[in-house]
Amino acid sequence: MPIRVRRARLALPRAALAQRLGTLVALVALGLSAWLAACTITLPQKPLLVMPPAALNSGALDDYRSAVAKRIVDRNPSYILHGSPQAMLRSLVVVSFTVDRNGQLVKSSVYRTNGDDEAEATALSTLRRAAPLPAPPSRLLNSAGQIELFEDWLFNDNGKFQLRSMASPQAQNFD
């Protein structure tokens, strides 16, 4: 005996389904446009600070970076690692900081890290402890009278560090 398949009858005629679907699409579009209207899209502005050409890859910049690193080391002797950093460092913390024309630390923040909170805190606190930093040469200052620098703190397992700009060659083996 053949099996009979009954087609299910739609409860609503096609015209009513199309109307409800159209209403649903309109409601979704209305909700989406309301959501987008609540969002503020701000395009980035052109930088307001002009970096002087002398600040880019110059001997004066290298000398100033060295003077800052020396100040950090001199003001934090108990944190400094003497000798070569171990082959596999505990942490590398890159700090971004801004110095004004008088050597005052304007702002500082962790730029890159492996997530070692203790090493991050040590890097920031040793930088703050070194302030005021040497006054930068005027030719290195931007239009706001400041200079932004980056420095790398290289941490051994014992929590002591070297600054990359003054670091000894790193160990080559894991002894």
pLDDT single digits (tens) 30-63: 776 766 666 555 655 555 556 666 566 678 999 9
Give 57-68 pLDDT, tens digit per residue.
Answer: 678 999 999 999
SS3 state at 112: strand
The two structure tokens encoding residue 123: 């890097």
Lowest mean pLDDT among 31-35, 144-148, 159-163: 31-35
The pLDDT > 70 percentage for the chain reads 73
- Burial string for 32-60 (b: 16+ CB within 10 Å, else e) reads eeeeeeeeeeeeeeeeeeeeeeebeeeee
Measured CA to CA, the distance from residue 50 to residue 90 in angstroms comes to: 37
> Binning pLDDT at 50, 70 and 90, where does residue 24 land?
confident
Cross-strand partners of 162? 154
pTM above 0.85, yes or no: no
Which residue in 98, 101, 108, 86 sits closest to 155, CA to CA?
Answer: 86
Distance CA 119, CA 100 (A): 26
Interatomic CA distance for residues 127 and 104, integer angstroms: 11
Q: Is the peptide bond before 77 cis (omega within 30 degrees of 0)?
A: no
pLDDT score at 93: 97
> What is the C-alpha separation between 155 and 136, in angstroms, rounded?
27
Span of 3-7, 9-13, 165-169 with lowest mean pLDDT: 9-13
Amino acid at the residue 145: G
Candidates 93, 86, 80, 65; CA nearest to 129 is 80
Q: Which amino acid is at 134?
A: P
Q: Half-sphere exposure of 160 toward its Cβ, with a 13 Å CA cutoff?
A: 13
Q: Compute the 3-state secondary structure of the chain and give helix, strand, coil in percent, each to the nearest 5.
A: 40, 20, 45
- Over residues 94-111, mean pLDDT: 97
